Structure 1
Amino acid sequence: MPKIIPMRGFLTTSIGVICAATLALPLIPPTTPATASTARTLAAPGDTRSLPLVPLSRERVLGAAPEQGLYRPDGEHFSLVGVVWDDPGVELRGQVQVRTRSAGTGEWSGWQDVETHNADHGADPGTAEGASRRVRGATAPLWVGASDGVDVRVRAAATGAGGTRAAVPRAPLPSGLRLELVDPGDGEAPPEGAPADPPSTDLDTDAARASSAANADIAGFGALEIPELDQQATEQELARLQGSLPVTPYIGPRPRIVTRRGWGANESLREPGFGYTQKIKAVFVHHTASGNKYSCSQAPSVIRSIYRYHVTSMGWRDIGYNFLVDKCGTLYEGRAGGVARAVLGAHTLGFNSDSMGIAVIGTYGTTKPSRAVVTAIARLTAWKLGFYGGDPRGRTYLTSGGGNLYPEGKNVRLNVISGHRDGFATECPGAALYAGLGTARSGAARYQGR
């Protein structure tokens, strides 16, 4: 059964791999002098503007306009967009397109499609997070870069064949359509080619201290990143965390992971406490479907935007993915609770229990992921599955929590490293990324020494 650990409880218990002595650390303020790299704060924590769409025609379908939109030529400040609506159980059957004005050049982009099929991501049906009244239906987020103007249009799809456009009946659009304009906050990435310099956040709130403490068993309190380890050090760490070591420990060397503090997470956004599942039996690979028009130095800003969109716009308790990977292969901590622990995510509807979700930032329907991306997936899964004896080339069983591919309660046999589409009828993680999972499986097995 998944469980939610409140922050105060988390700081005083020794559940899983966190020991009581380590958890005491957050209660003691750091005594080392502050430096520019460890004490820099976000001057502006970001913002979300939620604007209602308006009818673009006089036509009505079941009382709703089948074409809605909004035009704001200037005066805004955002880098990511999405469209949300009231009922998460209602699908947006139609097309969402957006064009934006660059804050730097003042030039308008061409029309870009926004992925409308996003209900396959989320908490399992019947869980507290999935049943929350805060949850809303939503498109996938789209990264557009620093922008100050926006034009969006939503058009309902035709429900059947017809001789003319006017004669074709249309499906009604969901009620309560709103445009979400997400500003990731200060730390907007430097120009292409400049070194990444993501902001860190102060440890001045219970939420920030708890998030950092969740990793204190494997990294220093307040760390901006969890450094990579060699094979011997990883096996020693495994023995320390689990109290013993198998005769043949199949675990890959720990990879470098940028922490939430490292990418500048505003911990006040998420709900307090952490959710955990029993173990990690399977890994689901995703793409964020947010577009590929970002530089690797912008990745922290993209993640802050997706985090804000998941929590503030969609109503989730935290970012849905357990880990993220940028196009250059850098790994990032996702949902809070500790990278070495079985944190319950909201990534694969119906299969969040006993699994973890890795999202590659971008859209990979036709774009082939870089070798660095596939290697990062292999290294992360080789390490994380090693805590639970998982063979990256093997298969396992998960019980469905309900979805459009498998009914609730069905015991489903899946690859230990699966694509999102293996558990839900969806295009995710995109055909090109899905095609690379075989390479990730074999690579992960080699890292584990199999």
Structure 2
Amino acid sequence: MGLTKSSVLNFPQDEVYAWHSRPGAIVRLTPPWMPVRIEQEADDLSDGVAVLGFPLGLRWVARHSGAESPDRFVDELDSAPLRWAVRWRHTHEFEALGPDRTRITDRIDSNVPGLMLKSMLAYRHRQLADDLSALHRAADGGMRPLTVAVTGSNGTIGQALTALLSTAGHTVIRLVRRPTDQPDERFWDTEIPAPTLLQGVDAVVHLAGASIAGRFTAAHRHAIRASRIGPTLSLAQAAATTENGPKVFVSASAIGYYGPDRGDEELTEASDRGEGFLADVVAEWEQAAQPAIDGGLRVVNVRTGLVQTPAGGVLKLQYPLFETGLGGPLGDGSQWQSWIGIDDLVDIYHRAIYDDALSGPVNAVAPTAVRNSEYAATLARVLRRPALFRVPSIGPRILLGQEGAEELALASQRVLPSRLTEVKHTFRRPELEDTLRHVLGRTAESTQ
């Protein structure tokens, strides 16, 4: 039994092959709906090993061989007990059709049913084309290889971003809160960073912070604030005072800055801050980066909307409910939801690193905010399920408490990406349905 998929990319053969050889390639190509974690990447396409972790402790060891640069390489399943039941040989082929055109072909010889593989291969081909296009736009915009230090690299956004950066040719240093001897990691004391923490670093991307999801108890509120304000302040101070240190400081932020309910007001980076706990936290969070500004660094605060990926965040929570046909609008469904696809978000972070035109707050949202009722209808349509079960507003209030429900589940913010529009930023997928179909593997080609 086998499955073959081909597509043509408008990029040179050498470039397409080289992309696959860089750290992060397997992360970028793994569909976010698959229950798998990349535990180890192959460091050599001719004789490397990649290890994927599945539920129940199963490990998929893929051994690479047969590399003939820039034409082909192979990976085969080489781990017990899976190899006793699963046959797997995946040949990756690259054929030059001209100086700037390459046909990529995936040939899979396996006893895994082909229907289960179609959506995976369709995703991989779309993702590869999108990533290469994004990297070309970045190169045209002045991107050059940099050394980038990243906090929160193990989070949903951090994993996607570090993979994008390394496949783009950047050197990524993960700042971790434990002793380490790994060459691509440095120990980060969040209270008193080591003087050498950021030496030789060109840019810092600061993503770390406790999840805001949950009931807004005193302990949860403290964790949200304490994990953001102090660590950001100390890291910004380190960035500002390090000799041969960074010139750019990019910090995560959130559209919670605008408050939980601004009605139909269109909110831009120039809009006043709102009221409420999250608005207060975000304002302090952004202010904590001031030492970097005072030190002459370019600082960007990425005010992120509702991130769309089944690997984490709101979609991870809603996807199973809608998949079983039990999803529907929250409350009256009139609240505005300003969303962003995971891949468009990491593109924005990447641009913030290299584009000197961006500084200060940047709204990381798609240009097409939708009401909650439209979001529910779109997700249901993508999954081919009804959206009949309207969730009364008392539900989130019971689950999250009054404040948590108003700040999170029932929040309404109609946010526009004005700064990105001004710099003519290209979104991969500006429409919600297209984004959901991609990240959930529900495109037309996935079922053909």
Superposition TM-score tier, normalisation by shorter sequence: under 0.3
Q: Which has the higher contact order (CA 8 A, sep 6+)?
A: 1
TM-score (norm 1): 0.27
TM-score (norm 2): 0.27
Greater per-residue helix proportion: 2
